[in-house]
């Protein structure tokens, strides 16, 4: 009886000790990456590593080529998403409660002001990072030829980045937010100027229709706030994550990052 108990405990101990290597081999599927063949097999057969090409050009590893700006942008988005989810615990998307719930987050909730600042600075930092990332892509000519598709995806990502920030700005429902909303609503209504010039607004008021859909009524109110909240917490982030997935998949399918034409592989690379 005690022998079987001891052997059971030993078995448990052996299992626990081998956990690390058995988990690693079940994750890698093809053992440790000790040859070119096993390195390729690991990348190709693993869902998470598959985003990475089996071979990477040495130029891609030069930090001064990309400055890691795309990854910085992604990381800022992840920080903003996690802090945003935590902020949702206290934020109330209602005209009556929105402003006071934001004030409570800043002045009453433990760590709330820090969380709000993390959310604010990461999302605004994302705008700066994405602009620098675009500039890098532009200066290295990486938008050209078959990368045009990814450039267009990038432009949509840039617009979404701005829109997710703008929608967040409105959620505080203070004076700044309210008047920003009025300006956006007027921009949404701008086709009215053309229909006014053509004198057809009475029959075909597309600007007014757009504004009404956007506000959920004729003036900013409860329906507007709920719409902006939905855009801010679900639709824009979802679109961002899906398009970032396509953006990365496309880099992979384009054969990795661009390599400058005058790149000399034999030249000593300064990191
Ligand atoms: C949420 C926004 C974005 C994220 C998270 C993102 C992420 C990335 C990452 C990680 C890379 C790999 C290289 C690097 O880090 O620079 C990359 C490459 C690229 N990005 Fe973005 N990006 C975003 C927005 C944009 C925008 C706004 C554009 C242009 C309008 C753009 C165009 C490109 C192109 C063309 C490449 C390939 C560059 C090459 O082959 O050298 N991206 N992106």
**What distance in angstroms lies between residue 144's CA and the mean position of ligand 1's atoms?**
13
* Ligand 1: nearest atom to the Cα of 240: 1
Which residue's CA is the closest to the ligand 1 atom numbered 28?
Answer: 154
Q: CA-CA distance, 222 to 237, in Å (whole number)?
A: 22
**Is the beta carbon of 257 within 6 A of some atom in ligand 1?**
yes
pLDDT in tens, 70-126: 999 999 999 999 999 999 999 999 999 999 999 999 999 999 999 999 999 999 999
Mutate which of 246, 247, 253 for ligand 1? The one with the most ligand atoms within 8 Å of its CB, which is: 247
Domains and CATH numbers, the chain: 8-55 (no CATH), 62-253 (1.20.810.10)
pLDDT tens track for 213-264: 999 999 999 999 999 999 999 999 999 999 999 999 999 888 889 988 887 7
Please state the rounded mean pLDDT for residues 139-166. Answer: 94
Q: pLDDT class for 60, splitting at 50, 70, 90? A: confident
Name the pTM for this structure: 0.85
Residue owning the nearest CA to atom 40 of ligand 1: 257
Helix (H/G/I), strand (E/B), else coil: 249: helix
Scanning the chain, the segments in alpha helix (DSSP H) are: 2-28, 36-45, 63-66, 69-87, 98-107, 112-139, 148-171, 175-188, 191-198, 206-215, 222-230, 236-253
State whether residue 254 is helix, strand or coil: coil
What pLDDT is recorded for position 75?
98
| pLDDT one-digit tens code per residue, 13-52 | 888 888 877 777 777 677 777 888 888 888 887 777 777 7
Phi-psi region of 239 (alpha: psi -120 to 50; beta: other; left: phi over 0): alpha
Pairwise pLDDT comparison (35 vs 265), residue with the higher score: 35
Within 8 A by CB and 6+ apart from 65, the residues are 59, 140, 257
């Amino acid at each position: 009886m005690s022998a079987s108990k001891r052997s059971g405990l030993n078995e448990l101990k052996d299992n626990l000790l081998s956990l690390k290597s058995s988990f690693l081999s079940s994750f890698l599927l093809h053992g440790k990456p000790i040859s070119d063949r096993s390195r390729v097999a690991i990348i190709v057969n693993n869902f998470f590593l598959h985003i990475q090409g089996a071979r990477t050009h040495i130029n891609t590893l030069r930090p001064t080529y990309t400055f890691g700006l795309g990854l910085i942008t992604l990381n800022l988005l992840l920080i903003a998403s996690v802090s945003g989810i935590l902020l949702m615990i206290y934020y109330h998307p209602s005209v009556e409660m929105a402003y006071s719930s934001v004030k409570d987050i800043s002045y009453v909730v433990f760590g709330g002001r820090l969380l709000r600042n993390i959310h604010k600075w990461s999302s605004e930092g994302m705008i700066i990072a994405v602009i620098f990332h675009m500039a890098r892509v532009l200066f290295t000519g990486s938008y050209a030829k078959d990368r045009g598709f990814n450039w267009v995806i990038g432009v949509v990502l840039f617009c979404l980045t701005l829109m997710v920030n703008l929608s967040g700005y409105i959620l505080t429902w203070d004076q700044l937010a309210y008047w920003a909303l009025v300006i956006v609503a007027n921009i949404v209504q701008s086709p009215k100027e053309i229909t006014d010039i053509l004198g057809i607004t009475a029959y075909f008021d597309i600007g007014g229709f757009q504004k009404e859909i956007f506000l959920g009524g004729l003036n900013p109110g409860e329906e507007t706030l709920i719409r902006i909240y939905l855009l801010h917490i679900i639709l824009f982030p979802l679109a961002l994550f899906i398009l970032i997935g396509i953006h990365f998949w496309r880099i992979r399918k384009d054969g990795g990052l661009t390599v400058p034409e005058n790149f000399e592989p034999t030249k000593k690379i300064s990191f």
